[in-house]
Structure 1
């Protein structure tokens, strides 16, 4: 039996959509991409991987703000 993670599926969809040329996108197409990316964020947020990414980005952001002072 083949199983696939919803997060992996959404990540593949996002990558395929972002590979398209910017000029070829309509407003509705861009809105759909944003909705898919938000859904991906919601799916991976409660996972340990999502929490690790969030911690890394938080440390990175604090490092950037500290270096600008």
Structure 2
């Protein structure tokens, strides 16, 4: 039996959608990409990978804030 992780599937879909040229996208296409990315974020947030990404982004934001002082 083959199982597919939904988060991995959404990540692949986002990757291929973002590879397309910007001029070739309609407004609906852009809105769908945003919805898919938000769904991916909701799926990743509670996982250890999502927590690691959150920690890295927090450290990066903290570094930028300290550098601007």
Considering the TM-score relative to the shorter chain, is it more than 0.5? yes
Within 5 Å, give how 1:1-69 maps onto structure 2. 1-69=1-69
1:15-68 deviations in Å (ceiling 9; x for gaps):
000000000001010000000000000000000110010011011111011101
Give RMSD over aligned pairs.
0.5
Shift of 1:9: 0.2
- For structure 2, the residue ranges without an aligned partner over 5 or more in a row are none
CA distance in structure 1 between the partners assigned to 2:26 and 2:44 by the alignment: 27
CA distance in structure 1 between the partners assigned to 2:17 and 2:9 by the alignment: 12
Shift of 1:4: 1.0
Misfit runs of 4+, over 3 Å: none
* SS at structure 2 position matched to 1:46: coil
